[in-house]
Structure formats: structure tokens, C-alpha cells
Amino acid sequence: MQLGNFQLKTISGGRFCVDGGTMFSVVPKALWSKVFPADDQNNIPQATNCVLVQSGNRNVLIDTGYGSKMSDKQRKNFVAEDGDPLLASLQAAGISVEEIDTVILSHLHFDHAGGATRRTDDGQLELTFPKAEYIAQRREWVTATAGFPELQAAYPQDNLGPLEQAGQLRLIDGNVEIVPGIRSIVTGGHTEGHSALVIESEGETAVFLADICPTSRHLPASWCMSYDVDLLQVRRVKPELLGQIADNGWWALFDHDPDHAAAKLRRHEKRNFTVTETLAEL
């Protein structure tokens, strides 16, 4: 996708499957299964549509998928791809790990930050992108590294520790411009420090929604995930952000949608918002 002076590309951080009920929380299966049919295990497919933003000689990667460090048991449970799908997708796009200048993490859950690090052949942890500056919200980082036992599965520390140890981590506070043309909007809701990323160039705009609205099936205000730590906040901020996108003709970028990486939206009287145009990938 050409967005002003930016070139945007979908970089897969790996496909996987997850229980449909967890993706739609209190929404009855009789409703969500009409738009997202589940298999006989009640699983639905999920993508990790990371975004590569290119401008001149700068390469910015938004999110990193689940990476290559999951155990065999975890891969089986999530029906996750083998190998390192993030690096395979980057290679297919003609980009090496050394060419990534900046990695922006919308939040630090394992399926968004897992690809930030990898293990060497002798089992040592290293940064996946050795020359990149890694960006995260300070509030998210504090929660993710606090050692809360109930969050251990969501925030594996081998995804995070090496970033700080290498001195390549920059923590930001709130709604700020991260690099020219890309700024953060702290939404909260999914996690306390969760951010959407606004990409702007030459009057054109796209918004990486991350998990405030993970798929095009989550457009209704009340359709939230069981993973959301603050359902009320999601139900407040999601329609506000989607309204801005619809009213201004911006692109909505979906991280977990297996069919649509991007969409244009319009307001809908009964369903809050509906899709008018889609792109399978950027």
C-alpha cells in the first residue's frame, strides 16, 4: 500500500488458532459464529499482520508476532506455524534483520512481542533486529516486567529482558510522535498501556488498531475479548477511534484478521460500523 510518501507492507508474524469464545468474551457463540465460524474444537484462525513502514532509507516494523521461541507444546496448542514466520515474511519482502531501524510494539503480549528476540543455535537469547531501536509504552513495560504470577503466560520475560539489557529499548509516555509520521494513541482497555499507532503522510492516514479491535468482526462496540483487562474502557474508546477512522476516510489496519489486513469503514445504525472496502494484505 502506498500511503503518501510511505510504503506499507504486511509482514506475517505467524498464523495460529485460538478458542473462539476467548476472542468474543460475553458475546454468545450463536452471534459470533455467524461471522467467524469455528472448527470442531471451537477454534478460529488468527493472523499476526505486522506492518512494515518504509520511507527513504528508514524501515519501521510495527509488532513482531509470536516469534520462534515457543515450545513444541505451545505450538501444538495454538496450531502455530513452525520455524520463524516473521523472518520468512521479511525475507520474502527483501528485507534483512539488519535493515530494520525501529521496532514499535503496540503492547507486550507474547503474540505481539515474541518475535522481538530469538535464540541462537546454542540456545542464547539475542535481539532479532540487532541494529533497531525498540519502542514500548512505559506503563505497559512496568506491568509486563512486574512479575505478576497471573500474567506470566501473557508476558514471557525472554521476549523482553534482552531489549533492556542491550540498551536498545526506548520507553515512551502517552500519545507521542515516535518517528516522523508515526504516533501513538494510548487506548488502554486491552492492557493498561495498549497503544494504537497512527501512520500519516501527505494527508493520508492509516491506524494500526492492534488489539483494541483485533479483527473486522470486532467492529461492534460491545464485541470484546476475554483477554481485555478493562472491558468498559474498550467499549468506550473503540467506537471513538473507529468513528474517527470512518468519518475521515482513513484505513483501519487489523492485526489478527486472517482475511483482511486493512479496511475502510462507515458508520452503521445497527452495527456501529461496517466495512466498505478491504485489502487482504498491504
Mean residue pLDDT of the chain comes to 97
What percentage of the chain has pLDDT greater than the value 70?
100
> Taking residues 85-99, what's their average pLDDT?
97
CA dihedral 81→256→216→280, nearest 10 degrees, is -60
In this predicted structure, what is the pLDDT of residue 270?
A: 83
**Tens-place pLDDT, residues 160-211:** 999 999 999 999 999 999 999 999 999 999 999 999 999 999 999 999 999 9
Instruction: Give the C-alpha separation, 156 to 158, whole Å.
Output: 6
Amino acid letter, residue 175: N
**Tens-place pLDDT, residues 249-272:** 999 999 999 999 999 999 998 889
116 pLDDT higher than 90:
yes
In this predicted structure, what is the pLDDT of residue 218?
A: 97
In this predicted structure, what is the pLDDT of residue 271?
A: 83
Instruction: Give the C-alpha separation, 82 to 70, whole Å.
Output: 10
Sorted by where each starts, the structural domains of the chain and their CATH numbers stand as 2-279 (3.60.15.10)
Cβ neighbour number for residue 41 with a 10 Å cutoff: 10
Label residue 240 by pLDDT band (50, 70, 90): very high
Nearest to 280 by CA among 264, 257, 247: 257
> Taking residues 68-88, what's their average pLDDT?
95
What SS3 state is found at 52? strand
> Taking residues 214-218, what's their average pLDDT?
97
What is the SS3 assignment for 22-47? Answer: HHHCCCCHHHHHHHCCCCCCCEEEEC
Label residue 127 by pLDDT band (50, 70, 90): very high
Instruction: Give the C-alpha separation, 149 to 134, whole Å.
Output: 25
156 pLDDT higher than 90:
yes
Taking phi over 0 as left and psi of -120 to 50 as alpha, with beta for the rest, 169 belongs to beta
> Taking residues 15-31, what's their average pLDDT?
96
Going through the chain in order, the beta strands assigned E by DSSP cover 2-3, 6-12, 16-19, 43-46, 49-55, 58-62, 102-104, 117-119, 125-127, 133-137, 169-172, 177-179, 182-186, 195-201, 204-208, 251-253, 262-268, 272-279
> Taking residues 143-162, what's their average pLDDT?
95
Cβ neighbour number for residue 278 with a 10 Å cutoff: 15
Amino acid letter, residue 17: C
89 pLDDT higher than 90:
yes
